[in-house]
Structure 1
Amino acid sequence: MTELEAFIDHWTDDSNGVKKAFLRFKSVLEGLCEVSVSFVPRPPASYSLRAEPPRGRPVITMVDVASLDGEKFLSVCFYADTITDPEERGDLIPGGLLSKDGYCFDVDSDEDNVVSYVEARIFEAAAAFSLSEDDTCAEVDVND
């Protein structure tokens, strides 16, 4: 069992559906062509999925699982120049993504309109890296 599988398996308290949202984002990231998805645990601060492109910057997006007062939430961050935020749901964080300006979106449930909005940002960021979703992509690296 990989570290990621163990993390998911031990995540049992999910009354708000945050785990469900995390698994949906994981599936979306794994469906992007040429993207490697790695898991970077930094207990107890956060646990991150990182979508790494084959060229250019180190990541397309980071999906962090964090806790606040015992409640888990996701912080999904992108480089500021790779996405738009037409509904102004994200927070611009100067130097917030690997020392570059980033947009971060907090997800504290599996509410479809929130998850779908962030999912659209994932596809937008992938397009900025000239990557696409492709059902024929079978080779995705998930590092433990």
Structure 2
Amino acid sequence: MKEIDAFLDDWKDNDTRTKQAFIEFRDHILTMEDVTCEFIARPGVSYSLRPRHKNQTGRDLFAMADIIDDDPSNRWLSVCFYEDMITDPDEEGDLIPEGLPGGADGYCFDLDEYDEKAVNYIKERLNDAYRSAKG
């Protein structure tokens, strides 16, 4: 994924370490079997990594790991999932009614700074979504 690598090379992280969190999410997704990723760049708005399992039908993704680019010097992350593809036992996510592609309800988990516990919690949600997507 040359485009995402070039973006990450140019991203100057700050003390919030959101770049580190995003790289951990990306690397976690890349370990998943039979998954392809689309990278959608909308400078000034967001950069979005969208994984899809080869067995998925009806949906083009099982998660969206977005880098919110409203302030390039202070980017933050929003990782979103379809409501019916994950669990949220600690109720950390924000319900987003009709906020995902296809007008589906979803949950988003926002990070404005690196937090190991939150990163690991979101990785578990990625695992949930992956299991749901592969059938």
Give the TM-score, by structure 2 length: 0.90
2:98 corresponding residue in structure 1:
95
- The number of residue pairs the alignment matches comes to 131
Letter in 2 for 1:120: E
Offset, 1:21: 0.4
User: SS state of the match for residue 134, structure 2?
Assistant: coil
Are positions 1:124 and 2:128 aligned together? yes
1:64 corresponding residue in structure 2:
66
Offset, 1:5: 1.3
1:140 corresponding residue in structure 2:
none
After superposition, residues 1-144 of structure 1 pair within 5 angstroms as 2-54=2-54, 55-56=56-57, 57-69=59-71, 70-98=73-101, 99-130=103-134
Query: Relative contact order, CA 8 A, sep 6+: which one is greater?
Result: 1
CA distance in 1, matches of 2:41, 2:70: 17
1:142 corresponding residue in structure 2:
none
CA distance in 1, matches of 2:6, 2:132: 32
Structure 2: gaps of 5 or more residues: none
CA distance in 1, matches of 2:68, 2:4: 15
Structure 1: gaps of 5 or more residues: 132-144
Offset, 1:22: 0.3
User: SS state of the match for residue 64, structure 2?
Assistant: strand
Give the TM-score, by structure 1 length: 0.85
Letter in 2 for 1:78: F
Offset, 1:13: 2.8
CA distance in 2, matches of 1:68, 1:106: 14
CA distance in 2, matches of 1:129, 1:48: 19
Q: Deviations over 1:76-106 (max 9, x none)?
A: 0000001111111111101111021110000
